[in-house]
Amino acid sequence: MCRRKYRAAAIRFVRCALDPSENASKTMASVFGNVLSLEDVAIYGGITALATFSRSELHSKVLMLSAPFRSFLELFPDVRELIADFHASRYTSALKYLEKLRPELQLDMYLSDHLSQLYDMVRSKALLQYVSPYEIVELTRMPDAFGTSVSQLQEELASLILQGQIHARIDAPKNVLNRIHTDLRARTVSEAFDVTRAACDDMECSLLRVILMKAGVTVTSAPQSLQAGSGGDMEESKEHEETEAFENEDA
């Protein structure tokens, strides 16, 4: 989390589980001392999951009774209800509870530096989920759900449009958001062109390899001094493998 890889952090948090045969608080205290508590794990895991998980992942990895992380949420029902409200599109109560937590979390030595970014990610995700089912959205109906004004909503939605997260246009005079349909035919042609170009590149590489082999040109392995420099990427590779395994668990 300190490297702002919030999805990777969320994946590791939600894989935590409590052993029902032991005293959870004593076990946590014996391992982490005064550094980390059960409530910290529930809050860190809950907020990073809200910011980065899809709706289906929140259900299967966090809220389901069989999910390992659910045992933490049972100890702290307020965090559980926050995530449940967000998952059920009850954004008013979810965002209000997040704001209620803000003063306390701003004093957290681990989370305070990340709080603004995580809150912005959660709010942007709520806006995306709110508008995604509709072709036309009347912005005058949204302020109550998000605790803001129409003008502020227009700014937030415009930012998401510029980032490419929402394909839509804002009709400011009418306070309406109009979704833009993707041209499926053009996208299919573009994807076919990309596949063809990749196949041509692979063919050129294969022909070049054959020509070099016939000419007796070979490439030896890199010196050990150069190979040693790749050790720094091992942790990145491990995080990538963990993320892939996490996303394929339900497959």
Instruction: State how far the Cα of 89 lies from the Cα of 21, in Å rounded to an integer.
Output: 36
* pLDDT tens per residue, range 212-225: 888 877 766 655 55
* pLDDT tens per residue, range 20-57: 545 555 555 555 556 777 788 888 889 999 999 988 89
Mean pLDDT on 154-160: 90
Residue 96, pLDDT > 80, answer yes
Centre a 10 Å sphere on the Cβ of residue 177 and count the other Cβ atoms it contains: 23
* Percent helix / strand / coil, the chain, rounded to 5: 65, 5, 30
Please report the pLDDT score of residue 246 as a whole number.
66
Helix (H, G, I), strand (E, B) or coil at 34: coil
More confident residue, 136 or 18: 136
* pLDDT tens per residue, range 116-132: 999 999 999 999 898 88
- Decide if 174 contacts 150 (C-beta within 8 A): no
Checking DSSP bridges between strand 136-138 and strand 176-179, what pairing results, if any?
A: antiparallel
Residue 231, pLDDT > 80, answer no
Residue 238, pLDDT > 80, answer no
Task: Tell me the angle at which helices 91-105 and 115-131 cross, rounded to the nearest 10 degrees.
Answer: 180
